[in-house]
Amino acid sequence: MAKQPVRVLVTGAAGQIGYALVPMIARGVMLGPDQPVILHMLDIPPAAEALNGVKMELIDAAFPLLKGVVATTDVVEACTGVGVAVMVGGFPRKEGMERKDVMTKNVSIYKSQASALEKHAAANCKVLVVANPANTNALILKEFAPSIPEKNISCLTRLDHNRALGQISERLKVQVCDVKNAIIWGNHSSSQYPDVNHATVNTPSGEKPVRELVKDDAWLNGEFISTVQQRGAAIIKARKLSSALSAASAACDHIRDWVLGTPEGTWVSMGVYSDGSYNVPAGLIYSFPVTCRNGEWTIVQGLPIDEFSRKKMDATAEELSEEKALAYSCLS
């Protein structure tokens, strides 16, 4: 028996990340090779023709798992019955724009998307916010969709997590699949804290701590952190466009692990609703180390936090509290 199709919404689907993401979803990268999907793609009216072009290409690709495509500028139609919602759409920061202006625009977008999702999405819809400022957009969404369970609203820091793993694997010249348990704490911004204190590498003689193998605390506490924090800018500099390929891939990883579970002994990073764990203020969407099982994430508890880490975790929490205040001021 084939499984019932899952409806997956991608907002901002006519953009770069959407274009990279939708074929991944249609191939089963997000939900598994045996899970049929129906894609819902939403964008704004100026992008309607481009969006239709993407729909045409999805039809042209004859994907076996793709059981339907809805391409629309109507947010209600887009949200109807969706089990997974990937919010790529938002207002990007343009040159000369004040932070407040970006925030104002995004706050109103996420307020209205929240209402639509709450009313029309499937029960237990899982939401992943990608558009920046991701954590705060997710927070606004949560505030204005009170009947969506808090734990179903997340933001993407898996890209940063994967970037951290990639940097370690490059440094140690090992396969990236042998590196695990990095942590991204906090905001998906340049204040994020990539923490390798609990990360390990799978070697022929067993799992070894990354710190021990790298043997260069100065690099791990300095350049490594800033490389991961600023990787987005580095990609833009090289490509003249932002990192659509790796962001789309990370979005698939985030949802797949959430829905299908993390492997034994491995955790991943997700921006989730803080319950006060690790003395992070409750009520923020903050990136934590999590394991996933049966469609639910759980924060990995009890990890020792040294002073260096404490400071960084607090700094990014503070930035999130400021963003929250700014967002709320834009609402009133």
Partner 1 sequence: MDYTELLEKAIVVSSSVALFCNVIKHIWSSTKMEKEPVKVLVTGAAGQIGYALIPMIARGVMLGPDQPVIIHMLDIEQAAEALHGVEMELIDGAFPLLRGVVATTDVAEACSDVNIAIMLGGIPRTEGMERKAVMSRNVSIYKAQALALEQHAAADCKVLVVANPANTNALILKEFAPSIPEKNITCLTRLDHNRALGQIAEKLQEHVSDVKNVIIWGNHSSTQYPDVNHATVTTSSGEISVRDLIADDKWLNTEFITTVQQRGAAIIKARKHSSALSAASAVCDHIHDWVLGTPEGTWVSMGVCSYGSYGITPGLIYSFPVTCQNGKWSIVQGLKIDEFSRAKMDATANELLEEKSLAYSFLG
Instruction: Fill in the amino acid letter for 78.
Output: A
DSSP 214-256: H--HHHHHTHHHHHHHTHHHHHHHHHSS--HHHHHHHHHHHHH
CB of 16 to partner 1, least distance (A): 9
Its sign, for the CA torsion 256, 259, 263, 266, is: positive
Nearer to partner 1, 267 or 278 (CB): 267
Which residues contact partner 1 by CB under 8 A? 19-20, 22-24, 27, 29, 33, 49-50, 52-54, 56-64, 66-67, 159, 162-163, 165-167, 169-170, 175-177, 231, 234-235, 237-240, 243-246, 248-250, 253
Its sign, for the CA torsion 58, 61, 62, 64, is: negative
Nearer to partner 1, 119 or 239 (CB): 239
Q: What's the distance, CA 76 to chain centroid?
A: 23
Residue 192 DSSP SS3? coil
Task: Specify whether 198 is catalytic.
Answer: no
Strand partners, 128: 86, 154
Write down the catalytic residue from 161, 188, 198, 254. 188
Angle at 30 between CA 27 and CA 32, to 5 degrees: 70
CB of 243 to partner 1, least distance (A): 6
CB of 67 to partner 1, least distance (A): 6
Nearer to partner 1, 215 or 237 (CB): 237
CB of 250 to partner 1, least distance (A): 8
Nearer to partner 1, 96 or 206 (CB): 206
| Exposed/middle/buried for residue 181 (C-beta within 10 Å: 0-12, 13-18, 19+) | buried
Which residues does the annotation mark as catalytic?
188
